[in-house]
Structure 1
Amino acid sequence: MRVLAIHGFLLAVAMAIASASARFSSQEVVDRIVARVENDVILLSDIRALSRYQQFLNGKSETDAQILDRLIDQWIVRTEADASHAPHPSDAEIEHSLSRLRSSFASQQEYEARRKQAGLSELDVRAMVSSQLYLSDYLDSRFRPAVQIDPKEVEDFYQTAIVPRARARGQEPPSLDEARDSVQEALVQNGINQQAEQWLKESRLRLRIENLLAGVAK
């Protein structure tokens, strides 16, 4: 009986090891390294996570290569933000962004259906929103002070974008004074995006980046 008991114990251990090996093997497939940035790595599971979030937001996602480019950019921004001790968004700011996100869907039911279809939990969505806020707030604080908007730019944008858009919808366009603040902010955001894009290009040149996506089995 003791021999049988030992045999049963060893069999159980063997099964546990096999099960663990299978899990590790599965994780290895999911978490293949797709890029190295300095001494850090980006994993295939990171691509999958952002892909699911894009599916949730837009009903479709970019290619793996495009998503990897975004993740490398995010790594650069996050590293700089951490180094400068940038503040993380408050709970109130996160809740405000989540509320705006939910209101972008036709209904709460559509929001829930799309979230579940993408395989995301509420915590997943909150974490992604928090991360995006952290990165965008840092870029805003870094580049907004350098963006200068000429009054002529505001008038030109109003005439070439705001007025035609309103008329195309059969609406009376707002006056320039009524639209000035929103136009100004749109132009500032565009300026921030342009400066951030240039900064990211320059940052990539000085960083050690190795793209391994082509050699990773999908």
Structure 2
Amino acid sequence: MRVFLVSLLMVNAAGLLASQEIVDRIAARVENDIILLSDIRVLSRYQRFLDGKSETDAHILDRLIDQWMVRTEADVSRFPHPSDAEIDGALERLRKSFSSAEQYEVSRKQSGLSDSQVRGMLASQLYLSNYLDSRFRPAVQVDPPAIEDFYRNTFVPQAKAGGQEPPSLDAAHDLIQEALVQRGINEQSEKWLRESRTRLHIDILLEGGSK
């Protein structure tokens, strides 16, 4: 009887491993770490939850590799993780971005995400974005002509296109300045990520992924 049970467990384990290999497999190796197909699936569901659609697996994998680079550097520098209050605030803002609390729950359930997964994604987003902000914000300079140009050529046309009367330049100054700072942070982050990739050993195993 004992031999039969051991054999049964071995067969079941082999079956589980075989099915897991089909459902989940290594999508990429980055240095000594791995990114799994399940990681891509979770981010894909999160994108559908937010936007109603998701990127291709290859694009999502690129994002996960970028996240790995940022997270690794943040961890090495012992950058502080977001507090529960910060995560609560981000979750509240996310809920308010939906038409109602009911719509939020419907969309979340349709995407297949649990409450803890949504909270975990928000915590990760905050950690990575806070680190990039801390690293690159001091180097971003926004001068008055850039603010005036953005106001005249972007801010005002967008407001009018939405049927709104644009506020004065003085009233919109701080908002525009922060938008331009964020754009500068994004540009410097993208440049840093491109340069960092050239120094990493990355092995893409996902079919259709970029090498």
TM range (shorter): over 0.9
Equivalent of 1:44, from 32, 37, 40? 37
Q: Which one-letter code corresponds to 1:74 in the other structure?
A: Q
- d(CA) in 1 for partners of 2:59 and 2:73? 22
Unpaired stretches in structure 1, ≥5 consecutive residues: 1-5
Q: Can you give the 5+ residue segments of structure 2 that lack an aligned partner in the other structure?
A: none
2-structure distance, mates of 1:11, 1:58 = 51
1:140 to 133, 140, 157: 133
How far apart are 1:214 and its partner, in Å? 1.8
Find the counterpart in structure 2 of residue 3 from structure 1: none
Corresponding position of 1:111: 104
Matched residue count = 209
CA RMSD of aligned residues (A): 1.4
Q: CA deviation at 1:212?
A: 1.1
Change (3 A) 1:19 1:122: same
> Aligned partners of 2:88 and 2:105: how far apart in 1?
17
2:51 paired with 1:25: no
1:155 to 1:215, Cα distance in 2 relative to 1, 3 A? closer
* 16-25 vs 130-139, greater mean Cα deviation: 16-25
Report the CA distance between 1:18 and its aligned residue.
Answer: 2.5
Matches within 5 A, 1:59-208: 59-208=52-201
Separation in 2 of the partners of 1:173 and 1:12?
A: 74
Q: AA paired with 2:91?
A: L
1:214 aligns with 2:207: yes
SS in 1 for 2:203: strand
Question: In terms of Rg, which structure is larger?
Answer: 1
Task: For 2:198 and 2:148, locate their aligned partners in 1 and report how far apart those are by CA, in whole Å.
Answer: 37
CA shift, 1:10, in A, is: 4.2
Q: Is contact 2:58-2:208 (8 Å) kept?
A: no
Q: TM-score under structure 2 normalisation?
A: 0.95
Deviates more, 1:154-163 or 1:195-204: 154-163
